[in-house]
Every structure is written in structure tokens, then in C-alpha cells.
A and B are shown apart, each in its own frame.
Chain A
Amino acid sequence: GENVEQHPSTLSVQEGDSAVIKCTYSDSASNYFPWYKQELGKRPQLIIDIRSNVGEKKDQRIAVTLNKTAKHFSLHITETQPEDSAVYFCAASTAGSARQLTFGSGTQLTVLP
């Protein structure tokens, strides 16, 4: 089955700096890669996703890049703010009727004021 590895497990940045979180996946058939943000005690919520026919996608301060050849994808957050502090999860899924997701182990991002 699919295996997703995520790095780093913790990341601290100064407010206004950029943050980058990287994930690798094992199944070359995976074609959908979402990123979820989970604030303390809350449910995970989708912040951005990318499909395998796209190399990069941007939404305001958040961007995701995908390298299918190397089987890795990354989340980039620019101009970080204290409210960006949370746990971020990457995930991957293959085409199929259920589209079940395989998640990375998460990155605790702390934005220092």
C-alpha cells in the first residue's frame, strides 16, 4: 500500500518568514495530494490540494508543488502569521471508488511573534 513520509516533525519560524514542509510518497499510482491543517483540539481541515496533472498550485500565501518523477510534494507558506501555528498533514490517494487517503505523520508549525 501507499506510504507517505513527512518532514520535519516540528518547525519553528519567525513571524513573516516562510515555512516549507516536505512529503514523499511511495505509490506511483497516487494522483491526488491534499494538505490539511489541524489546530489544537480541532478537526483537520483542507487548506490546499493538488492533482498529478499539475506541478504547482497557489492560494494567497499558501502554495504546493509536486514532483511526480521524484514522488515528492511540498507545502510552502509565505509571510507566516501566528494564526498559521498548527499541525499540518500531507496525504496521498489513488484513483478509486473510495479515494481513501494515506496521511503523513504531521508537522507541528510554530510561528514565533
Chain B
Amino acid sequence: NAGVTQTPKFQVLKTGQSMTLQCAQDMNHNSMYWYRQDPGMGLRLIYYSASEGTTDKGEVPNGYNVSRLNKREFSLRLESAAPSQTSVYFCASSAGRRNTEAFFGQGTRLTVV
């Protein structure tokens, strides 16, 4: 039981490049989330998926797109990376509704130069 697995762990991009962050969970959770973590700002929600087939914007969605490929996988895409997107990205999942504990992946440290 691996929990929530993110790839890659580290990435350096040049401004304007694109990339996709992958996330998979093996807990049969309904809901999945992408957060970014910046110093002094906590974790801010980028996008979330309440269930397979649905996605919604969070607090800071600009510059990102997501795909809920199936119940297990939720990817985050940066179409044209900008230095402001340098951050640590966390994927998380939860069973949803009353079972609300969110389990986090190990994080992806992204640097855009």
C-alpha cells in the first residue's frame, strides 16, 4: 500500500517549457487535490477533483490544467512555465464527505528558471 505517489520528485524547467506532474493513489479515494506550497503562505489549492470525471478550480488555478484520468490518477499540467510557478507541489487524496483525512504525496520541488 504505497498511499499517494507523485512523480517526479525534482524538476527544473526553463521559462516557457511545459510539463506534467503525475499523481496516483491506491486507497480507492474519491477526491484528489493539487496544492502548491510557498514559504510563509501555507498550502494553496490549485485544482481538485471531487470524484472521477469532475474537476474544479481552487484558489490559484491560473497557469495550470488538470486531468482526472481515472479514479487513481490526477495529473497537473503547466503549459508554459513561469518563474512564479517555482514551488513545491503536493498531490493529496481523501475518501471525501465525512471521511475527510487528506493523505499527501511526497511532493515535487519545481524550479522554473
Contact = CB atoms under 8 A, between A and B. Distances in A.
A93 B43 contact: no
Contacts of B72: none
B94 interface: yes
Given A44-B43, A89-B43, A98 B104 contact: no
Interface stretch (B12-20, B49-57, B76-84): B49-57
Given A6-B42, A44-B43, A105-B42, A99 B97 contact: yes
Contact of B96 (A46, A49, A99, A101): A99
A9 B31 contact: no
A46 B102 contact: yes
Interface in B5-60: 31, 33, 35, 40-45, 48-51, 56, 58-59
Contact of A105 (B35, B40, B104): B40
Contacts of B58: 100
A97 B51 contact: yes
Q: What is the predominant secondary structure among interface residues of chain A facing chain B?
A: loop
Contacts of B97: 97, 99
Interface of B: 31, 33, 35, 40-45, 48-51, 56, 58-59, 90, 94, 96-97, 100-102, 104-107
Given A99-B31, A100-B58, A106 B48 contact: no
28 contacts: A1-B59, A34-B101, A42-B106, A43-B104, A43-B105, A44-B90, A46-B101, A46-B102, A49-B100, A89-B43, A93-B100, A96-B50, A97-B31, A97-B51, A97-B97, A98-B31, A98-B33, A99-B94, A99-B96, A99-B100, A100-B33, A101-B43, A102-B59, A103-B35, A103-B43, A105-B40, A105-B41, A106-B40
Contacts of B42: 4, 6, 89, 103-106
Residue from B33, B43, B49, B56 whose CB has the most chain A CB atoms within 10 Å:
B43
A88 to B, nearest CB: 11
